[in-house]
Structure 1
Amino acid sequence: MSNIGMRIYKNIKRPSKELVEGFRGLPTPNIADNMNRFFCVSSEIKGFNNCKLLGTAFTVRSRTADNLLFHKAIDMAEPGDVIVVDVQGDKINSVCGEIMMRYAKKRGIAGFLIDGLIRDSGALKELDFAVFARGASPMGPYKDGPGEINVPVSCGGVVINPGDIIVGDEDGVVVIKAEEAAEVLEKAKATYAKESQIFKSIEEGTIDRSWVDEKLKERGCEIID
């Protein structure tokens, strides 16, 4: 008999490492703009140090105030995975701290994306490991379950599936579906190159701003002296 809400799926389909690495260095706004500005995790979820986040989603759904399945995910995840933890945005109990972060880093895990709280945030500032979460609290978790690993989860208002590509930087986190990643990557690179040319034209004094007046005219804007 199936134990719904307390189960672990071992195998997930990951995109190629080359495809994931293609997103390294691309700003999250360039990526989001090419997904019609959707699939951006809530701005309440922020990075706790200067580390960028890039990897493949390895998902955890847990009840609030519990990290038993989170611990199991760290043991199971592969190098380059981002462990995504759905604890329903709980802001009472933290679900991980420095020990879990250091262990995950040692295993080659790319980082954590947590719709909840962490602790040991001061130590994290000195640790070369990407963690994005809603905040911090010294109040720790329990280890009882239930929970599930490698199922679709909700994190910061975005549905994340195992194998999705996670990119995080100073602006926040975006989620790219694995089957759409190649197309999004190509478009995001083109946007990045286009913006680089705009920056150059600003410095050279050749930037074309005619689109502003054209848009105002299109919208019927009245300009009054």
Structure 2
Amino acid sequence: MLDLLPDLCDHYGEDVRWLPLPTHDYGGRTIFYGEVVTLRCFEDNSLVRDIVSEDGTGKVLVIDGHGSCRLALLGDQLAMLAHNNNWEGIVINGAARDIGTLGTIDIGVKALAACPFKTEKRQTGDRNVTLTVAHTLVYPGDMLYADRNGILLSKKALDLSVVGDD
């Protein structure tokens, strides 16, 4: 399967929300989906570590870094930790780093940009809150579907059997 979102839009157009966030694919997996876990934080990835240390089976972490690309909210160590704990992917309204290594880890990673600087550690942020990202509401428990076409959100899990083999 090379594309997921176009078929989902064709079959579930009324049931999905487009997240018009201009992200780049940095992870080793470009197609991923799962239940949303949300985190709002600004230039501090302390809670990212806490969350990806938990079992992420069937889940996608959506981090609202308020669009700041001054400090990276995810790097290779946290991505590997997320991979080892079975997270499907991470979407960042902000920056990531260690881009070359991220591409070798079998996890979906979408971020606005790359930045080589790490964050401060202040243990600040809000977990499992409703986010407003790119004028779109992202709720904890939403289902997120991502590929190179972008990101879709749905209130419920979608039947992926409607997706054709491209």
Same fold (TM over 0.5): yes
More RCO (CA 8 Å, sep 6+):
2
Question: Which has the higher Rg, Structure 1 or Structure 2?
Answer: 1
Shifted more, 165-174 versus 44-53: the winner is 44-53
| Corresponding position: 1:97 with 2:52 | no
| Corresponding position: 1:109 with 2:87 | yes
1:46 to partner: Cα distance = 2.5
Residue correspondence of structure 1 range 55-204 to structure 2 within 5 A: 55-62=34-41, 64-178=42-156, 181-182=157-158, 185=159, 189=162, 192=163
| Secondary structure in 2 matching 1:173 | strand
Distance 1:150 1:122 in 2: 30
| TM-score, length-scaled by structure 2 | 0.86
Q: Would you say the 8 A contact 1:32–1:39 is kept in 2?
A: no
1:49 to partner: Cα distance = 4.2
1:38 to partner: Cα distance = 6.1
Distance 1:38 1:89 in 2: 23
Moved over 6 A (4+): none
Q: Would you say the 8 A contact 2:44–2:123 is kept in 1?
A: yes
Gaps of 5+ in 1: 1-23, 200-225
Q: Which residue of 2 aligns with 1:29?
A: 6
Number of residue equivalences? 164
1:36 to partner: Cα distance = 4.6
Map Cα deviations across residues 163-217 of structure 1 (whole Å, 9 max, x no partner).
1111111111111112xx45xx48x82xx56xx8xx9xxxxxxxxxxxxxxxxxx
Gaps of 5+ in 2: none
Which amino acid letter does the alignment assign opposite residue 32 of structure 1? C
Which amino acid letter does the alignment assign opposite residue 31 of structure 1? L
Distance 1:32 1:176 in 2: 11
1:30 to partner: Cα distance = 2.4
Higher helix share: 1
Superposed CA RMSD: 2.5
Q: Would you say the 8 A contact 2:3–2:149 is kept in 1?
A: no
Higher strand share: 2
1:43 to partner: Cα distance = 4.5
Which amino acid letter does the alignment assign opposite residue 38 of structure 2? T
| TM-score, length-scaled by structure 1 | 0.65
Which amino acid letter does the alignment assign opposite residue 26 of structure 2? F
Q: Would you say the 8 A contact 2:145–2:153 is kept in 1?
A: yes
Distance 1:50 1:74, change over 3 A: closer
Shifted more, 75-84 versus 123-132: the winner is 75-84
